[in-house]
């Protein structure tokens, strides 16, 4: 008899498996319908021996010391500050838009003070910022919005920025200085030996059994367990009772080139040309030395694996109906990006999983003292760190 059946071996499922097994001595079965652990963060060495991310670039960044320290028990880190260039008007310019972006784009030589005035002059006042269009035009005006955001967003989401919540483009800030890092979080690093290795360490516990290539529906009625942790899409769990919850998908085109370097930045965004949104060159992320180099192109699409919840009002309303069903399930805990329909980064998912564990362990201890003594002190509640450019929560 297992105490927990955990559906999905991504960050949400794996962190909970580890906590329940190591922190509360529970017997855990974790299954994934994919042939590997790690969820969307899975990485592997391709035929040429280059470490690549199967489901697109995954860059770890967080303002949460607790999340960083927790994962640090399972991996060493390699410091890495992410940088992105955007292909606009035939040039490659820093993204997020900063002082150098403006000077290069317009052939100017403005200072940080002058560029602030420049933005003020071109910004369009928006009384209540509601949409992803409002966020950008209110800061940098329509022309820069159209060059950098409008078409990229339409490609990525198949929606106009005016149809998406402000939170989507608010992930990318505007700067008046020359800081060209994509993120400004306190902790920015990559797992030294890759994500999959880190997941192997997270799941390496005698109380944890792993079943790959297994949809939970194939085993849920045959293998006895007390409670479930579900990290798959929430609408699928309820057999689409209220209809499909929209998720955006991607097709990944991986290529290896017989050259040491393919492009001049880890990621190049293409807002206005091509059907793909961006190209990532993995060696920048991993620091690997290799004579060849591997890149991935991301082609957004409607059908396929669900990768992104789509933040907009009507979807939030539909999700609220599924959440009510989820809340009524007493023996199933819904955790993760797909199960809680949140456009969360990896660190936010780890925090969410640790919070869930805290609730489960606390609740259980109170109810019947069935949990054995925690091997480690777990602080609850965890605060979900904000997106890279939100408020810093360095210590909570
Ligand atoms: P997942 O990783 O999706 O894991 C859920 C697992 O459940 C999957 O493996 C799935 O196969 C399994 N599953 C679903 N249904 C079933 C079923 N019926 N039976 C069995 N198993 C099932 N975050 C960052 O912090 N930095 C980044 O740079 C970054 N880049 C990203 C780039 C892309 C292209 C994408 C799509 C996401 C990116 N993210 C990034 C977000 C990151 O991937 C997620 O925050 C994180 O992986 C979510 O973890 P999870 O466990 O909730 O979900
Ligand atoms: N975005 C854009 N142009 C860019 C980069 C981002 O319009 O060059 C918008 C787009 O809507 C995108 C969102 O900002 O989906 C968030 O970007 P981020 O790089 O955080 O996306 P992710 O890495 O999650 O795919």
Tens digit of pLDDT per residue, the chain (396 long)?
999 999 999 999 999 999 999 999 999 999 999 999 999 999 999 999 999 999 999 999 999 999 999 999 999 999 999 999 999 999 999 999 999 999 999 999 999 999 999 999 999 999 999 999 999 999 999 999 999 999 999 999 999 999 999 999 999 999 999 999 999 999 999 999 999 999 999 999 999 999 999 999 999 999 999 999 999 999 999 999 999 999 999 999 999 999 999 999 999 999 999 999 999 999 999 999 999 999 999 999 999 999 999 999 999 999 999 999 999 999 999 999 999 999 999 999 999 999 999 999 987 655 544 333 333 333 334 566 765 444 333 222
% of the chain exceeding 70 in pLDDT: 92
Domain 1-37+203-246+310-396 sits in CATH at 3.40.50.720
Ligand nearest to the CA of 64: 1
10 lines ligand 2 (CB under 6 A): no
What confidence tens digit (pLDDT) does each residue in 179-234 have? 999 999 999 999 999 999 999 999 999 999 999 999 999 999 999 999 999 999 99
pLDDT at 258: 98
250 lines ligand 1 (CB under 6 A): yes
Domains of the chain, residue spans: 1-37+203-246+310-396, 93-170
pTM: 0.94
168 lines ligand 2 (CB under 6 A): yes
C-alpha to C-alpha distance for 337 and 379, rounded to whole angstroms? 22
pLDDT at 220: 96
269 lines ligand 2 (CB under 6 A): yes
140 lines ligand 2 (CB under 6 A): no
Distance 341 CA to ligand 1 centre (A): 11
Distance 148 CA to ligand 2 centre (A): 10
85 lines ligand 1 (CB under 6 A): no
Atom of ligand 1 nearest to the CA of 61: 25
pLDDT at 198: 98
95 lines ligand 2 (CB under 6 A): yes
């Amino acid at each position: 008899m297992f105490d927990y059946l955990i559906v999905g071996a991504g960050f949400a499922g794996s962190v909970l498996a580890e906590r329940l097994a190591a922190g509360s001595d529970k017997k855990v079965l974790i299954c994934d319908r994919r042939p590997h652990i790690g969820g969307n963060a899975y990485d592997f060495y391709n035929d040429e021996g280059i470490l690549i991310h199967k489901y697109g670039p995954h860059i770890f960044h967080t303002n949460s010391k607790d999340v960083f320290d927790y994962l640090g028990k399972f991996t060493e880190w390699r410091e890495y500050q992410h940088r992105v260039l955007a292909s606009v008007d035939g040039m490659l310019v820093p993204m997020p838009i900063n002082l150098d972006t403006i000077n290069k784009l317009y052939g100017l030589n403005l200072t940080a003070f002058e560029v602030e005035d420049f933005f003020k002059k071109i910004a369009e006042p928006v009384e209540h910022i509601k949409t992803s269009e409002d966020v950008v035009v209110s800061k940098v005006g329509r022309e820069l919005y159209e060059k950098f955001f409008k078409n990229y967003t339409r490609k990525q989401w198949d929606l106009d920025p005016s149809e998406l919540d402000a939170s989507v483009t608010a992930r990318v800030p505007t700067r008046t200085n020359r800081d060209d890092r994509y993120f400004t979080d306190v902790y920015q690093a990559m797992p030294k030996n890759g994500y999959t290795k880190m997941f192997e360490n997270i799941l390496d516990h005698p109380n944890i059994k792993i079943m790959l290539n297994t949809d939970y529906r194939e085993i849920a009625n045959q293998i006895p367990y007390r409670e479930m942790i579900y990290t798959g899409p929430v609408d699928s769990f309820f057999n689409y009772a209220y209809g499909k919850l929209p998720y955006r998908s991607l097709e990944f085109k991986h290529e290896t080139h017989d050259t040491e370097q393919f492009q001049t930045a880890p990621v190049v965004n293409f807002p206005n040309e091509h059907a793909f949104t961006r190209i990532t060159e993995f060696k920048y992320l991993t620091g690997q030395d290799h004579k060849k180099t591997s890149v991935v192109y991301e082609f957004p699409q409607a059908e396929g694996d669900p990768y992104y919840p789509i933040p907009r009002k009507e979807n939030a309303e539909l999700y609220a109906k599924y959440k009510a069903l989820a809340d009524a399930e007493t023996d199933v805990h819904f955790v993760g990006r797909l199960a809680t329909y949140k456009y969360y980064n990896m660190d936010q998912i780890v925090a969410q999983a640790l919070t869930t564990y805290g609730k489960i362990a606390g609740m259980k201890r109170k109810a019947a003292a069935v949990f054995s003594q925690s091997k480690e002190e777990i602080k609850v509640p965890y605060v979900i760190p904000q997106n890279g450019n939100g408020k810093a929560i360095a210590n909570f």
